[in-house]
């Protein structure tokens, strides 16, 4: 990767991280804002591409945050060209939103000894998308891609989803946590939560921790109890994983922050201030966790998490 490409990649990390830091400094978790905004109506969902496929990773945060900031009601986004191909047109004066994708290419090099070597070169690029609310002339296909379901049906589906993972979930006490040494999740009694959605949100958070086990995704939790920074990074992953999974399940998460979020907020600001790629890494780990849980389901959608036709991969790792 050339120096100019490296600088562009670093600048992209910094610009996106600076935006998230600014919101955290105001006490706002940008990945939670969509649940509490009055501008969002109907079903809660991840941001969707023009073909109905959901975005993943850091792009979920970028588009959720932009939708709230600009009052967009639609979950659907597309490029300028895709809008034209679908018979629409971006309205004059509208500005787009930056999303990112990561991929790599193979480059052949000759070593000093004359040996032919192949090197996998990663790269990060950005492109611009527009919300369906900014586009005129689209037909009714884009008015309601995600159908609104009865909330009780959604909760029932969520229960089956968690059962299909095979995770050991115990109930009792007043705290929710995952115990790596014994590989089980502890949850307060169901009736202790203000509503069903709050229970699902907290369980989704703990299920994200559960995916870290060595025989699953092997995220290192060895320093969780000893190192404030390591704990903050893992809690950020679990926060994002909960939001991503609740969106996939059609559940509105808890509206009140957990008691430990105030202390984590300061830690997150510290981590993001030191490491401009931390939010990208956390979102990528959260996406892997949610994908892992989806793949434990008996009827896995082979197209889950695919990218749109323009780009092969979103940011998968920092």
pLDDT recorded at residue 147 = 45
Residue 309 lies in a domain: no
pLDDT recorded at residue 2 = 54
Cα angle 273-275-278, degrees, rounded to a multiple of 5: 105
Residue 48 lies in a domain: yes
Tell me the pTM.
0.69
Range of the domain at 284: 3-295
Residue 248 lies in a domain: yes
Q: Based on the structure, what is the number of domains in the chain?
A: 1
> Cβ–Cβ contacts within 10 Å for residue 312, how many?
12
pLDDT digits (tens, 9 = 90+) for 125-183: 889 999 999 999 988 777 644 444 443 345 678 888 998 999 999 887 778 999 999 99
Backbone angles phi, psi at 155, to 5 degrees: -65, -40
Backbone angles phi, psi at 75, to 5 degrees: -95, -5
Structure tokens at 300: 């896995």
Helix (H, G, I), strand (E, B) or coil at 181: coil
CA distances from 106 to 36, 100, 111, 118 (A): 44, 20, 15, 6
Q: Which of 136, 129, 256 is nearest to 201 (CA)?
A: 256
Residue 314 lies in a domain: no
Residue 65 lies in a domain: yes
pLDDT recorded at residue 10 = 65
Residue 302 lies in a domain: no
pLDDT recorded at residue 76 = 92
pLDDT recorded at residue 32 = 64
Residue 307 lies in a domain: no
CA distances from 250 to 120, 152, 234, 245, 300 (A): 38, 11, 24, 9, 17
Spatial separation of the C-alpha atoms in residues 301 and 248, rounded to whole Å = 12
User: pLDDT means per 10 residues in the chain (318 residues)?
Assistant: 58 82 77 49 72 89 83 89 94 93 75 76 85 89 52 66 91 86 88 83 95 96 90 93 90 59 75 90 96 89 44 40
Residue 313 lies in a domain: no
């Amino acid at each position: 990767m050339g120096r100019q490409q490296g600088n562009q990649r670093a600048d992209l990390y910094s610009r996106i991280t600076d935006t998230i830091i600014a919101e955290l400094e105001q006490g706002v978790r940008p990945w939670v804002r969509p649940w509490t905004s009055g501008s969002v109506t109907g079903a809660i969902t991840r941001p969707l591409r023009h073909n109905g496929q959901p975005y993943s990773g850091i792009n979920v945060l970028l588009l959720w945050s932009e939708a709230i900031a600009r009052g967009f009601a639609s979950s659907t986004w597309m490029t300028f060209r895709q809008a034209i191909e679908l018979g629409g047109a971006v309205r004059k004066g509208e500005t787009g939103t930056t999303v990112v994708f990561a991929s790599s290419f193979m480059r052949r090099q000759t070593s000093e000894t004359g040996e032919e070597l192949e090197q996998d070169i990663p790269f990060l690029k950005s492109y611009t998308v527009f919300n369906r609310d900014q586009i005129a002339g689209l037909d009714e296909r884009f008015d309601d891609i995600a159908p609104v379901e009865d909330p009780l049906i959604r909760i029932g589906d969520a229960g089956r989803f968690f059962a299909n993972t095979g995770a050991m979930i115990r109930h009792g006490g007043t705290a929710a946590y995952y115990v790596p040494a014994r590989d089980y999740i502890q949850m307060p009694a169901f009736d202790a939560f203000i509503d069903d959605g709050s229970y699902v949100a907290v369980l989704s958070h703990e299920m994200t921790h559960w995916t870290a086990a060595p025989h699953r995704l092997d995220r290192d939790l060895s320093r969780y109890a000893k190192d404030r920074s390591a704990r903050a990074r893992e809690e950020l992953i679990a926060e994002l994983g909960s939001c991503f999974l609740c969106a996939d399940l059609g559940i509105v998460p808890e509206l009140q922050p957990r008691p430990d979020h105030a202390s984590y907020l300061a830690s997150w600001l510290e981590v993001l201030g030191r490491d401009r790629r931390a939010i990208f890494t956390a979102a990528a780990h959260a996406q892997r966790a949610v994908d892992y849980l989806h793949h434990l389901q008996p009827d896995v959608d082979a197209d889950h998490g695919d990218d749109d036709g323009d780009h092969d991969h979103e940011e998968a790792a920092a």
